[in-house]
Structure 1
Amino acid sequence: MIIYFVLLVMLCLCNTYLLERHKRSWIIDSFDLVEEHPGPFPYDMGQITLDRNYLVEFVLKGRGVDVDPKGVLSINPNTGVIKVHRKVDFEEYKVLMLTFQARNKSNLAVDTQLGMEVKILDINDNPPVFQRKVYDVSITEATKQGSFLVGVLAIDNDAQGTLNSTIDYKIISVTPRTKNAEFYLQDSGTISFKGCLDYEVANKYIITVEAKDRGEVVKLSSTATVIVNIIDGNNHPPVITGQTGSGIALEETTGISPLAIHTRDADTRNTAAWMASYSIQGDKGGHFSIRTDPETNDGILTVVKPLDFEKQAQQSITISVENEEPLYSCEVKERSTSGLWTIISHSAKKSTQSINITVEDVNEPPYFSEPVRKIVIEENGAVGAFVDKVTALDPDTHRLNKLEYAIKQDPAGWMTINPTTGEVSVKEPLDRESSHVTNGTYTVTVIVTDKENPKMTSTATLQIYVEDKNDNVPLLKDSEVSVCQSEEISSTEITAHDLDGDPYSGPFSFELKEMLRKNGASTRATNLSVAACDCSVSPSCLVERQVQKKAGTGVYGTAIFASLLVFALLLLAFTCSCGAVNSLAQVEDVSQDALLSYNIEKLGTDCMHHTSRWKQSLYRTDSRLKDSTLSRKTSERNQNMYSISQSALQSLLLLRLHSLQSLENELVDYEPHLYALEDISVNFEDLDPIELPRNEFNPELLSDLGPAFRNLASIVTSRKAE
């Protein structure tokens, strides 16, 4: 055992206090301890001594004494000898840090305190260990020599940078050994090979690798296994062996497969080295494509663009095949002792097959060179006028098919076509304002049919732009308008429209029929109903009529009755006179036994009363009529009759009321005459006499009169008797 003991003494002097004495401090740098010492234990590692004229006691604390790893070291408190009691592992503890103290035995004061290190010296007690016991990799046989295959790595836990942890790698064995491939290992642990790999010779290699350190006393080592799996590469080219199928393709048909190409390949089935990839040469029109059947590796030829028998009845193409994985070859030419070997490769030609495809003729449909034609025709043209000529072509020129034309779609039935020549002519005059014309354009569809079996057809479209003519007179948008009655001039707006287009659709001028001038323009006399309304009563005559038209069937009788009643009242109102009257119409009945009193002795005495009463009666009648009208439903006939009669009556009544109001304003006020009522016993001698026409009076009528008339009759009878 070699023990190194180094003592460093430092004396610190204070320049400020020269007379003050300071104790000296001792620092022990380090001790060395060899790991895994075989013993026997305990043994002395070293001794610490101090130059004192008094007795001291030594104390040692820290890692290795009272801190893990505990119990490795101890110190004699009197002599300062340090002993080792057991082994220490370098891989676990590389240094032990401790504290040394010297105390004065007289007062146990600390005299000296030192820092102390014990270094553990490594020995080669750990072999290199691989990260994995088995390395398993897979490479293709087309891998080039010198390529990286796998890297192995071993780790030694001995002191780094020493011979004990320096590792050397070496290949111990390779199974199987082949003459065209040799594996080698670099110092870094990288494995590669020289030469050529051949799946058919060896599809797996097992390599044993050793890692050994360089320990001076003893060298330690370990091994690992490397498995290299070889994946079959494409070193056998595919070869076309033949074809099956009719080799016939129908013209104007796609999706058919006229034949299949068969191929043989010696590489492993269902790998990229075996899977065939086909290509087509000589297909200038791009009519064919070819795909690989994943089960059989056959090439399936398919028509993707229609063929044309009339252009080319026979198609010649070439099919070639290769693998999905590029083809390679490897041959060892020279083996050298250092560096890579010399190898050569051979290129292989693609396997090809010439194919002839026969195009079979079929009946193709005729076609229009101009499927859409645009034509301009004036409306109202002559029947039989030429419109256009449509011409279809038949691609089967060798068949000499006859074509027949017909109208497929003619919404208004204005056109006809010659079935042989395709000439389209006018059958009925065109009307631009027809609902079949959209934005001035009339569309006709023509169909052509060949006479082969089966028959083939094609269509063309004629877009006929119909030029407008001024063949429509303007029309009023509304046949009824209303104006408000007023002392000033009233007006209403009249609008018109014309079915013709610009410039024949406006502007318009309006004149009354009596003032209409013969100016050559397109004119039309139209009846216009004008309703005059009292806007203070009803804002619009037309709105009121529309409301009235919604009346029910039960209102019809009410309307007739109201009309008759109003006419009777009007007639009675017109008989009202502001002068003297000597006769009175016969009264057959008075409702509710009431006698209407009339004063006909004075000028105009009856006009004021009658005017007021007729106003009230008319307004009440009109109000009842409106309420009844709005409450029920009616038929269209009753609505029209009621609307006409009501409107006429209302207008007439309003005119009559206006005249009565004017007359009433001119009349003077008067005191009304008091007449006796029934059941009042007074003298009736002051009553004005009532004369009845003798030839029209029937005394029996008096029996049905009320009390007032009976009293009046008794007075008249008594006066006649006198």
Structure 2
Amino acid sequence: MGRLSLLQLIVSIMVALALAQDTGNYTMNKREKRELLVRSKRRWVLSTIELVEEDPGPYPKIATQMFNDRTPMIRNHQFRISGTGVTEEPLGIFTIGETDGVVYVHKPIDRETYPIFHIKFDIMDKETGNPVDTTLGFDVAIKDINDNAPYFENPVKKASVKESLQEGYLPVPLIAIDRDEANTENSTISIRVLSQEPAEPKINLKQVEGTKMSQLTFTGCFDYDKVKTYIVVVEAKDHGKPALSSTAVVNLQIMDSNTHQPVFKNKTYNAQIMEMESNKEILRVAVTDEDTPNTPAWRAVYSIVKGNEEGNYKIETDPKTNEGILTVIKGKDFEKTTLTNIEIAVENEEPLFVCGSGRANSPKTLTALPQKANVAVKVIDVNDPPEFDKKVTDVYMMEEEETGKVLYKPKVTDVDSDVGKIRYELVEDPAGWVTIDNKTGVVTTVKKMDRESLHVNKDNIYTIIIHAIDDGQPPATGTGTILVHLGDLNDNMPSVVEKELVMCGNKVIVPVVDKDKPPFGCPCTFSLGDNGDKTLKSHWKLDPANGMEAGLVSLKSLPYGNYTVPLVILDQQGQVGKDIVQVMVCDCWKGDKCRASLPRSSILGPAAIGLLLAGLLLLLLLLLFLLLCECGGKTFTHLPLNLQDEGNQTLIKYNEEAGGSACKGEPMLILTPTTPNREVADGMKQATPGIPFTQKTNEMTQETNEMYRTTGRTIVSSSGEGGFSGGGTFQRMGEANGTLRSQGGQGMYQTTSRNNTMRE
């Protein structure tokens, strides 16, 4: 860095020497000198111009003149201005001379509306109209004068204050505003209380530090009974020249406070109550209060100061009348107390306020005592009821004990009557287990007590209530309660809860119950009983076989039907209970419902009805055939039945050597389907196609009856529409079983007749 400076110095000295030697031969012109030095443009003097607001004129008035600090006058230049006050609002304030650069102002200006103007300045070439320099600007500042008086945000204020307000600040803030330039004397404000009516207590005004707000203050006390409204005039004045001011009015409403104690209308009162009387109003006391009615300053609050150490009385305020209501809540015993003196006091809901020596005293420091009154309460004697030494007596015994046991002997006292004249009554004995001696009150059992009875509660307690009644006028009654605690015995056998069960799989749960409590009841032990069925244990087992329920399991697949299973149940003490469970094994439907147990109407459809009608018709046909039984016939005669089906039908006749009995039993036909793939109706229709079933049946019946009359032979035929279906032959199977069977492989039915023979 030092070397560089030295080099520059040497170069500068050499240049100076060279110029000094050549001064006579070379002379710089002005342009060369300017280029050698730093280039600079012409400079226009632009500064902030100040104008006084509200200047009365005359107008137009010269504000300033624009000029060049290098060239006194430039004749070929033209001046122009624009901006606020010229081409922007407010218009028509400023103009400029085009040739001389003089700026004129044309009207007074309000600083509070337009405190400053920003104006742009241009110099144009007259010949070309082009700017000869860059756009410049200058400001016009408006100088403030004290032309605005301070004003209050709320020139009329209303406020309410309690009469008991402690001296100091009032809840009335005041804010004054001045539109003149801030931080000048023109905007500096002083506030004071100009006047107040009435004059006491003294009201002042104080500036709140750190804010522009002032607040009213007062010294002394307000008195609602004397003055209820204050009017305070406050002035705000600035420090300008001349000073300007304005006022605000504060209307101050005084609200009543508790400045008067409630006073009893009477200092002593008398009342009376019946002995042991309770929950009854016995006295009303009244007070006077000069404060505003139905306010916390007026509403009374009563209290009992003395004479209620046992809590026999209470006192409350009637919200409508402001009276004190004295009530006895616990009866007084005449034999202990005949007269009670009670001291009661009264205050207001709001604490008492007292203003002394021009200053308000805090309610906590008041020495004024509440007003008091005395009440003498007389107790009137009444017939006291007999009293049991124990209102509730506990007796303990075991259930099922023998009758005639004395449960209870009462001990009764009566301060007003002879104990020997007291009579006793049994009031509550829901199960009828006891009786009472009307003279002595002794309670004795007349039935065995059962702990499992519905009249015994969950705590094993049976309740008995008795009354003791004296001979007073009117008679008085005392009540005694006997709680009999029953101990449990193993007097109940375990048994099955549900005896009819449905088995859908291979297991069913059998719930049991034992009314005894542990250790006499369940969990129980289960086993299969002995009903003489040796196959019982091969069909069933119990899993689990102990607990509160048993699991009955089938060891093999059982056909649908009802099964009887005997059970043996032992409780914890070995008490044996025997029971039988009916188990239905079935095809279940939605849970544990058997399909067969569903309502018939829900499964009987049109097809079932048709089958039912067909069965009835078949039954009628069988009855008709039974009428064809022959009494005493010997031969079986061929009956032309038009057996035309799938081939020729042949009736093989057998002769019998032995004669038939005089009267043969009616044949019974048993129809057994031998070809399940064919319908019965189809087999019938193949015999004689096209002939209605009823018509064929009638024809067959007539022909058979005719044959029977002419030949006297018994005809046995299969049911159908006039013939047998199939192409087999009938042959006689023997007299022993009387069976007539179709021999053809296509035969559909077997026909069996008991105790009949086939004869010609």
TM-score band by shorter chain is 0.5 to 0.7
1:56 to 70, 77, 95: 77
Question: What is the aligned partner in structure 2 of residue 271 from structure 1?
Answer: 295
SS of residue in 2 equivalent to 1:421 = coil
Q: Which ranges in structure 1 are unaligned for 5 or more consecutive residues?
A: 1-16, 335-339, 481-493, 514-533, 549-582, 597-612, 617-670, 679-704, 712-722
Corresponding position: 1:96 with 2:117: yes
Q: In 1, are the aligned partners of 2:148 and 2:178 still within 8 Å (CA)? A: yes
Q: In 2, are the aligned partners of 1:251 and 1:360 still within 8 Å (CA)? A: yes
Partner amino acid, structure 2, of 1:424: V
SS of residue in 2 equivalent to 1:253 = coil
2:464 to 432, 440, 445: 445
Q: Which moved more, 1:169-178 or 1:91-100?
A: 169-178
Q: In 2, are the aligned partners of 1:45 and 1:82 still within 8 Å (CA)? A: yes
* Distance apart, 1:403 and its partner CA: 3.4
CA–CA distance in structure 2, aligned partners of residues 117 and 674 of structure 1: 151
Q: In 2, are the aligned partners of 1:433 and 1:499 still within 8 Å (CA)? A: yes
Where do residues 33-72 of structure 1 align in structure 2 (5 Å cutoff)? 33-50=51-68, 51=71, 55-72=76-93
Mark the CA change 1:357 to 1:173 in structure 2 (over 3 Å): closer, same or farther.
same
Partner amino acid, structure 1, of 2:277: T
Q: Which moved more, 1:103-112 or 1:206-215?
A: 103-112
Corresponding position: 1:174 with 2:199: no
* Distance apart, 1:61 and its partner CA: 0.4
CA–CA distance in structure 2, aligned partners of residues 59 and 328 of structure 1: 79
CA–CA distance in structure 2, aligned partners of residues 537 and 33 of structure 1: 123
Question: What is the aligned partner in structure 1 of residue 622 from structure 2?
Answer: none
Mark the CA change 1:288 to 1:406 in structure 2 (over 3 Å): closer, same or farther.
closer
CA–CA distance in structure 1, aligned partners of residues 179 and 159 of structure 2: 28
1:150 to 172, 181, 196: 172
Q: In 1, are the aligned partners of 2:152 and 2:175 still within 8 Å (CA)? A: yes
Question: What is the aligned partner in structure 2 of residue 139 from structure 1?
Answer: 161
CA–CA distance in structure 2, aligned partners of residues 132 and 430 of structure 1: 91
Describe the superposition over 1:182-203 as per-residue Cα deviations: whole angstroms up to 9, x where unpaired.
2222245322122232223322
Corresponding position: 1:220 with 2:262: no
CA–CA distance in structure 2, aligned partners of residues 377 and 173 of structure 1: 98
* Distance apart, 1:458 and its partner CA: 2.1
Question: What is the aligned partner in structure 2 of residue 686 from structure 1?
Answer: none
CA–CA distance in structure 1, aligned partners of residues 224 and 511 of structure 2: 100
Mark the CA change 1:504 to 1:584 in structure 2 (over 3 Å): closer, same or farther.
farther
Question: What is the aligned partner in structure 2 of residue 590 from structure 1?
Answer: 664
SS of residue in 2 equivalent to 1:147 = strand
Partner amino acid, structure 1, of 2:81: L
Question: What is the aligned partner in structure 2 of residue 330 from structure 1?
Answer: 355
* Distance apart, 1:72 and its partner CA: 0.5
CA–CA distance in structure 2, aligned partners of residues 317 and 211 of structure 1: 63
Q: In 2, are the aligned partners of 1:329 and 1:347 still within 8 Å (CA)? A: no
Mark the CA change 1:589 to 1:279 in structure 2 (over 3 Å): closer, same or farther.
same
CA–CA distance in structure 2, aligned partners of residues 296 and 437 of structure 1: 54
2:477 to 445, 450, 456: 456
Question: What is the aligned partner in structure 1 of residue 17 from structure 2?
Answer: none
Partner amino acid, structure 2, of 1:427: V
CA–CA distance in structure 2, aligned partners of residues 234 and 76 of structure 1: 81
CA–CA distance in structure 2, aligned partners of residues 167 and 477 of structure 1: 101
Partner amino acid, structure 1, of 2:337: Q
Describe the superposition over 1:348-380 as per-residue Cα deviations: whole angstroms up to 9, x where unpaired.
232211221122334455455152523113525
Question: What is the aligned partner in structure 1 of residue 371 from structure 2?
Answer: 351
Q: Which moved more, 1:359-368 or 1:285-294?
A: 359-368
Mark the CA change 1:185 to 1:462 in structure 2 (over 3 Å): closer, same or farther.
closer
Partner amino acid, structure 2, of 1:31: I
Question: What is the aligned partner in structure 2 of residue 420 from structure 1?
Answer: 439
CA–CA distance in structure 2, aligned partners of residues 352 and 327 of structure 1: 16
CA–CA distance in structure 1, aligned partners of residues 97 and 558 of structure 2: 138
Question: What is the aligned partner in structure 1 of residue 545 from structure 2?
Answer: none
CA–CA distance in structure 1, aligned partners of residues 442 and 515 of structure 2: 31
SS of residue in 2 equivalent to 1:257 = strand
CA–CA distance in structure 1, aligned partners of residues 248 and 378 of structure 2: 66
* Distance apart, 1:312 and its partner CA: 2.5
Q: In 2, are the aligned partners of 1:196 and 1:332 still within 8 Å (CA)? A: no
Q: In 2, are the aligned partners of 1:141 and 1:197 still within 8 Å (CA)? A: yes
Question: What is the aligned partner in structure 1 of residue 727 from structure 2?
Answer: none
* Distance apart, 1:412 and its partner CA: 4.6
Question: What is the aligned partner in structure 1 of residue 46 from structure 2?
Answer: 28
Question: What is the aligned partner in structure 2 of residue 253 from structure 1?
Answer: 277
CA–CA distance in structure 2, aligned partners of residues 537 and 392 of structure 1: 71
Q: Which moved more, 1:285-294 or 1:460-469?
A: 460-469
CA–CA distance in structure 2, aligned partners of residues 196 and 478 of structure 1: 91
CA–CA distance in structure 1, aligned partners of residues 348 and 424 of structure 2: 56
CA–CA distance in structure 2, aligned partners of residues 56 and 128 of structure 1: 50
Q: In 2, are the aligned partners of 1:366 and 1:448 still within 8 Å (CA)? A: no
Partner amino acid, structure 1, of 2:194: I
1:235 to 255, 259, 274: 259
CA–CA distance in structure 1, aligned partners of residues 385 and 137 of structure 2: 111
SS of residue in 2 equivalent to 1:398 = coil
CA–CA distance in structure 2, aligned partners of residues 373 and 114 of structure 1: 115
Q: In 1, are the aligned partners of 2:268 and 2:375 still within 8 Å (CA)? A: no
Q: In 1, are the aligned partners of 2:437 and 2:443 still within 8 Å (CA)? A: yes
Q: In 2, are the aligned partners of 1:365 and 1:458 still within 8 Å (CA)? A: no
Length, aligned pairs only = 519
Q: In 1, are the aligned partners of 2:81 and 2:95 still within 8 Å (CA)? A: yes
Corresponding position: 1:123 with 2:142: no
Corresponding position: 1:319 with 2:319: no
Q: In 1, are the aligned partners of 2:490 and 2:520 still within 8 Å (CA)? A: no
CA–CA distance in structure 2, aligned partners of residues 437 and 28 of structure 1: 116
Where do residues 662-677 of structure 1 align in structure 2 (5 Å cutoff)? none
Which structure carries more strand by proportion? Answer: 2
Q: TM-score, normalised by structure 1?
A: 0.61
CA–CA distance in structure 2, aligned partners of residues 167 and 133 of structure 1: 16
Question: What is the aligned partner in structure 2 of residue 337 from structure 1?
Answer: none
Mark the CA change 1:210 to 1:104 in structure 2 (over 3 Å): closer, same or farther.
same
Mark the CA change 1:511 to 1:275 in structure 2 (over 3 Å): closer, same or farther.
closer
CA–CA distance in structure 2, aligned partners of residues 352 and 91 of structure 1: 70
Q: Which ranges in structure 2 are unaligned for 5 or more consecutive residues?
A: 1-34, 209-213, 501-509, 533-556, 565-581, 586-595, 598-656, 674-730, 739-754
Q: In 2, are the aligned partners of 1:376 and 1:467 still within 8 Å (CA)? A: no
Q: In 1, are the aligned partners of 2:150 and 2:178 still within 8 Å (CA)? A: yes
Q: Which moved more, 1:366-375 or 1:201-210?
A: 366-375
SS of residue in 1 equivalent to 2:117 = strand
* Distance apart, 1:158 and its partner CA: 0.8
Mark the CA change 1:372 to 1:27 in structure 2 (over 3 Å): closer, same or farther.
farther
1:303 to 305, 328, 337: 328
Cα RMSD after superposing both structures: 4.8
Mark the CA change 1:448 to 1:124 in structure 2 (over 3 Å): closer, same or farther.
same
Partner amino acid, structure 1, of 2:225: E
Q: Which moved more, 1:458-467 or 1:224-233?
A: 458-467
Partner amino acid, structure 2, of 1:288: Y
Where do residues 463-482 of structure 1 align in structure 2 (5 Å cutoff)? 463-468=484-489
Among all aligned residue pairs of Structure 1 and Structure 2, give the percentage whose two residues are the same amino acid.
Answer: 33
CA–CA distance in structure 2, aligned partners of residues 478 and 203 of structure 1: 89
Corresponding position: 1:389 with 2:408: yes
Question: What is the aligned partner in structure 2 of residue 668 from structure 1?
Answer: none
CA–CA distance in structure 1, aligned partners of residues 88 and 498 of structure 2: 119
Mark the CA change 1:441 to 1:589 in structure 2 (over 3 Å): closer, same or farther.
farther
2:102 to 72, 81, 86: 81
Partner amino acid, structure 1, of 2:78: E
Q: In 1, are the aligned partners of 2:384 and 2:416 still within 8 Å (CA)? A: no
Q: TM-score, normalised by structure 2?
A: 0.58
Where do residues 500-649 of structure 1 align in structure 2 (5 Å cutoff)? 540=563, 587-591=661-665
CA–CA distance in structure 1, aligned partners of residues 495 and 426 of structure 2: 36
SS of residue in 1 equivalent to 2:378 = strand
Mark the CA change 1:126 to 1:380 in structure 2 (over 3 Å): closer, same or farther.
closer
CA–CA distance in structure 1, aligned partners of residues 91 and 254 of structure 2: 56
Describe the superposition over 1:462-517 as per-residue Cα deviations: whole angstroms up to 9, x where unpaired.
324155367x899999999xxxxxxxxxxxxx99999888659987997899xxxx
Partner amino acid, structure 1, of 2:663: D
